[in-house]
Amino acid sequence: MRYFVVFSYIGTDFHGSQTQPNGITVQETMESAFATILRTPIALTFAGRTDAGVHARQMVAHFDTESIVHGALLTDHLNSLLPASIAIQDIYAVADDMHARFSATARTYEYHITEVKNPFLRGLAAQVAPGLDYERMNDAAATLIGTQDFASFCKVHTDVKTTFCTITEAHWERLGEHEAVFTITANRFLRNMVRAIVGTLMDVGRGKMSVENFRRVIADHNRCAAGQSAPAEGLYLTKVVYD
């Protein structure tokens, strides 16, 4: 039987989501908790990977097991065992051909910034200098919408078949006096794409790049044309959608 797990984590403590040789990851922490409770090795397939320091308000993974799983009970047991940095919201049975990664039709990320030092946002938002022009940044963000080749915002030397993505939502919103959030939804994202987009939009917001030049960065398909990547701590995966 195949199950979906819906969960959230604070990325600060982890060396990213996926199992790798250096440092503790979300995946190995969760697989170890599942194995302890279900008393059998469990392999989790994540909807996507997040880099070190990146958070997830809603990540999805699937796993297969012969055991009969009571979703609510397993959720409670796992939440007791898992560290405070990971919380499971739901576990439920799905059709055998549902795949956490390949069946996902859309993903939403948020990028949070604060213009003043705020201890309660430590590790949870990137602190930036005040004075960003959000109207200009939204004018630039609007040019992201649609199906385009986003190679300009892709980490170089990654092994992907295509760098085309369909972005359906991309805008900044002020939150109170000193904070703002960038929300972006697409059918798929390339490695490092959101952080590269946010970093380049900040250049627009500071007047270092015109909206027209931002549009040209997309058209160039060349990572060197884009701005610096924004730091990991502001980034959240917030939604994964399945049909």
Task: Catalog residues that contact a second copy under the rule CB under 8 A.
Answer: 8-10, 55, 57, 79, 84-89, 116-120, 122-124
Burial 48-69 (b: 16+ CB within 10 A, else e): bbbbbbbbbbbbbbbbeeeeeb
User: Which backbone phi and psi does 232 adopt, to 5 degrees?
Assistant: -60, -35
Residues 116-121: contacts with CB within 8 Å, 24+ apart?
116/178, 118/178, 121/179
Of 123 and 148, nearer to a second copy (C-beta) is: 123
Q: How far is the CB of 231 from a second copy (least distance, A)?
A: 13
Name which of 1, 2, 4, 33 is nearest 91 in CA terms: 4
- 51 is annotated as an active-site residue: yes
Q: How far is the CB of 148 from a second copy (least distance, A)?
A: 33
Of 57 and 171, nearer to a second copy (C-beta) is: 57
Q: Which of 51, 97, 149, 220 is catalytic?
A: 51
Of 55 and 136, nearer to a second copy (C-beta) is: 55
Q: How far is the CB of 100 from a second copy (least distance, A)?
A: 19
Of 11 and 199, nearer to a second copy (C-beta) is: 11
Angle ∠(212,218,220) on CA atoms, nearest 5: 100
SS3 state at 165: strand
Q: How far is the CB of 87 from a second copy (least distance, A)?
A: 4
**Residue 30 token pair:** 């969760």
Instruction: Map tokens 């994964």 to a residue.
Output: 240
CA distance 234 to 115: 12
What are the residue numbers of the active site?
51
